[in-house]
Structure 1
Amino acid sequence: MTIVFKEEKHIDKNGLKALYEDVEWYAYTKDLDQLQQALLNSIYVLSAWENDQLIGLTRVVGDGLTIIYIQDILVLNSHQNQGIATDMMHHILEKYKDVRQKVLLTEEAPDVRHFYEKNGFQSSDKGTLVAFAKMN
């Protein structure tokens, strides 16, 4: 298996739909035009490809100088636990190594906490951090 990483914001709707629905992120696929626009408005998008198939994606929003927010990081179920998400995360953390605040918000799920903690993130329910979110 040869995985190619691309720094490209223009990704076909069908590929996005297949990836996001495979990981059951259906809220994103209700409006594929909006999802495409969200990628275009992101400061950075890194995607993972096997041949012509989109198998992973992560995107970053923020100012890129003082704060980044890792908005999405997802990999097809068939390709999970192969280091693809870790490679994408390492790439982002290296690219934005001088940015003080690196933030993400995710749902609690099996292996989620372990993945982020092994990549240097601290949960806001530990230590001195506090987090707030308002979801519509």
Structure 2
Amino acid sequence: MKIIEFKVGIVPKTSEIIEVYDSSGIKRPTSDSGRIRKMYENSNLIITAWLNNELIGISRSITDFCYACYLSDLAVKSEYQKDGIGKRLIELTQKEIGKETALILLSASIAMEYYPKIGFEKVENGFIIRRTK
């Protein structure tokens, strides 16, 4: 029986984060460890999932804890996907931000079917200026 431990506010080693990203299928600039490190230094809500001291899942958000929270990253190692870890990371994010805070995200095309299954509502009133690098 695997017991997964969830931790709030722990920033894992950059190499561990990259390992989760690369395994999960999420597209992030994992060849640029400095950029990954900076992404975490400038985020204010990080929740991690651990199995026997191995990082297996992570959520990274930017929030004001009273109105809006942008869930920037949700990643779970491929061998642990479909075990409810992503859903639990989102539940813990919601617990941390409280009921008066909206949880917002941009989905990768491969995850568009996933988010409605765990309670997200699709919105059509958003805009983006894409990064150029």
TM-score range, shorter chain: 0.7 to 0.9
Q: Is the 8 A contact 2:26 2:75 kept in 1?
A: no
Gaps of 5+ in 2: none
Map 1:28-107 onto structure 2 (within 5 A): 28-107=29-108
SS at match of 2:130: coil
CA RMSD of aligned residues (A): 1.7
SS at match of 1:28: coil
- State how far apart, in whole Å, the 2-side matches of 1:22 and 1:2 are: 20
- State how far apart, in whole Å, the 2-side matches of 1:26 and 1:102 are: 21
Count how many residue pairs are aligned between Structure 1 and Structure 2: 130
TM-score (ref. length: structure 1): 0.85
Equivalent residue number for residue 114 of structure 2:
115
Q: Is the 8 A contact 2:8 2:45 kept in 1?
A: yes
Relative contact order: is structure 1 or structure 2 higher (C-alpha 8 Å, sep ≥ 6)?
Answer: 2
Residue 26 (structure 1) shift: 4.8
Gaps of 5+ in 1: none
Q: Is the 8 A contact 1:68 1:102 kept in 2?
A: yes
Runs (4+) off by over 4 Å: none
TM-score (ref. length: structure 2): 0.86
Check if 1:27 corresponds to 2:28. Answer: yes
Q: Deviations over 1:61-115 (max 9, x none)?
A: 0322111001111100000000111111111112223334221001222xx3343
Q: Give the percent of matched residue pairs that are identical in Structure 1 and Structure 2.
A: 22
